[in-house]
Amino acid sequence: MSALSDRIMQIYEVLLKYFGPRGWWPGESQLEIVIGAILTQAVAWKNVEKAIKNLKEAGLMDLEALRSADEALLAELIKPALYNRQKAKKIKVFIAYLFEFYNGDLNALLDEPLEPLREKLLSLWGIGPETADSILLYAASKEKFVVDAYTRRIFFRLGMVPEDVNYNQMQDLLEKNVINDIQIYNEYHALLVALGNNFCKKNVPQCKACPLNNHNHCNFLHVLQEKY
């Protein structure tokens, strides 16, 4: 492994020791993970949990039920997840595609090879790279590192990427330097979310308490703390 790979994997080990296994993605089925990936766009997970609870109580965590459900009703049920009308449409678009091309067989879709499946997901209205890759990693168990705003923020503040690093650049860096293992990809993303939520916040980062700053083996932190 290169020095960069060692550094990136050390970050993973420190975070794993601090936070412990995250048990991510929380979902009782592949369908629930897919729906959760759509609902979590631009909103905290606690809001998604409320929306998923509503869907389950209404008997709509089911492919046939979602297919026949009225879009306005679906939007009302997922209201806690915000942007509910758009997200209801995104769910309906995904379900319609699944029935048109895979006869409603989610497993058949998710069993497609990684790159063709990613292209198919990205071709759907409302499915961007982060959502597609969340589905790939967590629902389809494929080796694709999920990047989000936390990921870019943390690695920028560590001095490892420019502030304007884009999704593909960040993903490429991590996939080249993180051990190519589904469980590590799974855990690493969840650990970065935990760090971003608890310490590496957008406006008021808690640098002094950050486990990367405090761990006595981490001499690589490069955050301009005087800015804060």
Q: Are residues 113 and 56 in the same domain?
A: yes
Residue at 157: amino acid letter: R
Residue at 85: amino acid letter: R
Q: Are residues 7 and 55 in the same domain?
A: no
Residue 2 makes CB contacts below 8 A (sequence gap 6+) with: 177
Q: Are residues 116 and 217 in the same domain?
A: no
Considering the entire predicted model, what is its pTM? 0.93
Q: Are residues 175 and 218 in the same domain?
A: yes
Q: Which helix (H) or strand (E) holds 149?
A: helix 149-157
Q: Are residues 150 and 190 in the same domain?
A: yes
What tens digit of pLDDT does each residue of 85-134 get?
999 999 999 999 999 999 999 999 999 999 999 999 999 999 999 999 99
Q: Which domain holds residue 211?
A: 3-22+146-227
What tens digit of pLDDT does each residue of 12-39 get?
999 999 999 999 998 999 999 999 999 9
User: Both tokens of residue 6?
Assistant: 């060692």
Of the residues 114, 139, 164, the one at which a domain ends: 139
Of the residues 85, 117, 139, the one at which a domain ends: 139
Q: Are residues 11 and 48 in the same domain?
A: no
What tens digit of pLDDT does each residue of 177-215 get?
999 999 999 999 999 999 999 999 999 999 889 999 875
What tens digit of pLDDT does each residue of 51-92 get?
999 999 999 999 999 999 999 999 999 999 999 999 999 999
Contact indicator for 178, 145 with CB cutoff of 8 Å: yes
Number of domains observed in the structure of the chain: 2
The 10 Å CB-count burial string (b at 16+, else e) for 178-195 is beeeeebbbbbbbbbbbb
CATH number for 127: 1.10.340.30
Q: Are residues 80 and 132 in the same domain?
A: yes
d(CA 49, CA 17): 27
pLDDT value of residue 208 = 87
Q: Are residues 34 and 132 in the same domain?
A: yes
Largest separation between any pair of C-alpha atoms in the chain: 57
Q: Are residues 16 and 54 in the same domain?
A: no
- In 3D space, the residue among 164, 130, 111 whose CA is nearest the CA of residue 43 turns out to be 130
d(CA 144, CA 59): 31
Q: Are residues 183 and 223 in the same domain?
A: yes
Contact indicator for 48, 81 with CB cutoff of 8 Å: yes
CATH number for 165: 1.10.1670.10
- In 3D space, the residue among 10, 53, 12 whose CA is nearest the CA of residue 35 turns out to be 53
Of the residues 92, 119, 139, the one at which a domain ends: 139
